[in-house]
Amino acid sequence: MKAARDFLLSFLLVSILATTSIAQSLNWQVVTTSSQRVSIVYFIDANVGFYAIGTVPGDPSVTAKLFRTNDGGNSWNQASVESLGGNGISDIQFEDALNGFACGGSTDSYGRFWVTTDGGVTWKKRSGNGLSYPMTTRKTEAGILVTDFSNQLMISVDNGNNFNFIETTPVPETHLGMDFVDSLHGVVDGNYRHSSTSWYYTEDGGLTWQSSGTQMETWSIYGERGTPRFYACPEGYSNQSGYKSQVFRSTNYGKSFQEVFRFPFQMTGHVAGAGGALYAQTAFSVTPGKEGMYRSTDQGENWELLGGPTGRTDTRFFVVPDCEGNIIYASGLDRKIYKAVDRVGSSGGGSSKEVPCLADYKNSSAVTPGSRVTVPIGIKLSSTSDVIGEQPKQIEYVVLFDPEAIDTGKFSSASDVVPPVGWALKSALMRGDSLVVTLLNVANDGIVELQGFGFVVFTVRNGTSLANCPIAIASVTLSAECVPFLIVPSIEQSTLTVITIVTSGLAHTEGEDKLLTLYPNPATSNITLRSDLLSTGKSSVTIFDARGVAVMDMILPSQASGEYQLSLGSLAAGSYTLRLSHSESAPIIKGFVIE
């Protein structure tokens, strides 16, 4: 029996190895040599980046330092880091070109947390109370999260001064890798020390976590921005030599992982990606001709060798999306920092293009003259569009309206444009019958299929004679460092909001109310949908919160009564948008409130 099992395992391994191939090696350039062990390489963009000298628990101590380049690695200068601990910096994250934060351990039994406001030239230490040995840090809607070698998972809501414990595993466990695909959905590993622990996922920015059942020590988790996909390439259990690293993938926001590939040797434990490509690096001794960086362009199922350095386990390389491709910066066992350009990737779409879409945030409002109305702004992209997942530097959208109904003189760019989480308002300009809004992508969020751009508040004129005022999105332009591309809403479906102006009281709008009724509204734990559409065939219902994030999605069976009572589960109090889809009707979108 054992012989048959071993034969089967050998056959499977050979079959998996057949999916690796050797591509033409990239042109790897040595940009600098470190005097000691490198813990992390991190870049803000193609020019500005860092490498840190540091160690992991159990390694010989080093003289910790941080070096910075502003010319793509041609020259390096030591950065000023206040109270740099003996184990150095383990992770770095930037919110924009100037503001960033970092974490690291120390030989004096407490952790370090730093912030920078000058692009990483100088770093100031925060108190970091509660940290012991920080490994990875991320910022979400909930706060700043840190995985801690001794204290599991910690969170700070005061910019890194104080950290509090978040319970993930049922027993004390070491956390190493962590990442998020947006401000809510993330994964953290709980590696291998107890049989009752696993990797964990969150849907609320890291406040609460649930088990995915996957167990393995991995130095990093990679979340592909704007998608539900997470990846990991563990180095294996720390007490297991000769490990063959697996590649794990999740397509459901980390709720479960599947093995999609297995390398015939041990990897560093880090995986990174950009421009639709994934990268992993070999560790320690590897068969000659097989060592270096590997790339996958099919979500981790097949890998090509790109050459380059073999690295150490528990270290991190970096991939920078750029116009000319993906720029890879990685350290080797020889303590050199290597650079190569892989032309498979692109950050800005690569060329000018028009991407059709639908305005997907229709709703109706009834207001009295002189009142103010809040208009949600958003689009829906085709799921086949190669725009999804890209990370533009900024977005500009144009909103059209009738100036006879909207009082442009009462518009305030400072208070009447509310960007979504992860975006900052750059400008908002009134131009007669249109409003042009430009948002900056401060969180490096990727574009999703249903993309919300926040809210715009308009004031309705007094004494207007118009009965209805359509508010429509005209165009959306996404810009990276490469050529920007234009998203064009379809004309017949570009109306986002129809404001019905009444002389007194409130009036229901025509059309959609005849097709769909929601009650009670405001709702509490349940809401009833009433529509003739429900009595013929299946319908689908999607509920979005105020930020445009889908919080519920389900299929409704045919209802002879034309009514369906929908449980709102654990949805918090607030404003929501419900979309009813049916084959015999265009999507119907209505708003409701949960008290």
- Is 441 within 8 Å of 392 (Cβ atoms)? yes
Strands 100-104, 89-94: pairing is antiparallel
The one-letter amino acid at 498: V
**CA proximity to 279, closest of 255, 263, 264:** 263
Instruction: Note the residue count of the chain.
Output: 595
**CA proximity to 548, closest of 509, 575, 512:** 575
Strands 303-307, 20-22: pairing is parallel
pLDDT computed for residue 17 by the predictor:
39
pTM: 0.63
Q: Taking the CA atoms of the chain, what radius of gyration do you get in angstroms?
A: 26
Helix (H) or strand (E) holding 3: helix 2-17
pLDDT computed for residue 1 by the predictor:
31
**CA proximity to 473, closest of 380, 579, 594, 366:** 380
- Is 228 within 8 Å of 245 (Cβ atoms)? no
pLDDT computed for residue 505 by the predictor:
34
Q: List the 29-33 sheet strands across, edge first.
A: 29-33, 336-342, 325-331, 318-322
pLDDT computed for residue 20 by the predictor:
52
pLDDT computed for residue 495 by the predictor:
67
The tens digit of pLDDT for each residue in 19-46 reads 455 556 899 999 999 999 999 999 998 8
pLDDT computed for residue 481 by the predictor:
67
pLDDT computed for residue 361 by the predictor:
62
pLDDT computed for residue 270 by the predictor:
96
Helix (H) or strand (E) holding 304: strand 303-307
pLDDT computed for residue 450 by the predictor:
83
Stretches in the chain below the pLDDT threshold 70: 1-24, 107-109, 191-194, 237-242, 285, 345-353, 360-365, 382-385, 464-466, 481, 491-495, 502-514, 546-550, 583, 585-587, 589
pLDDT computed for residue 363 by the predictor:
62
pLDDT computed for residue 327 by the predictor:
94
pLDDT computed for residue 291 by the predictor:
92
Helix (H) or strand (E) holding 279: strand 277-282
470 upstream amide cis, omega within 30 of 0: no
pLDDT computed for residue 141 by the predictor:
85
- Is 564 within 8 Å of 556 (Cβ atoms)? yes
Sign of the dihedral defined by the CA atoms of residues 302, 307, 309, 310, in that order: positive
Average pLDDT value for the chain? 83
- Is 444 within 8 Å of 391 (Cβ atoms)? yes
| Three-state DSSP state, 536 | coil
Strands 29-33, 38-43: pairing is unpaired
CA–CA distance, 218 with 350 (Å, rounded to integer): 33
Sign of the dihedral defined by the CA atoms of residues 168, 170, 176, 177, in that order: negative
CA–CA distance, 322 with 305 (Å, rounded to integer): 21
pLDDT computed for residue 294 by the predictor:
97
pLDDT computed for residue 498 by the predictor:
76
Q: What is the dihedral of CA 343, 345, 346, 351, to 10 degrees?
A: 70
pLDDT computed for residue 9 by the predictor:
33
225 contact partners, CB below 8 Å, separation of at least 6: 181, 182, 389, 391, 444, 445, 446
Residue 535 per-residue DSSP state: G
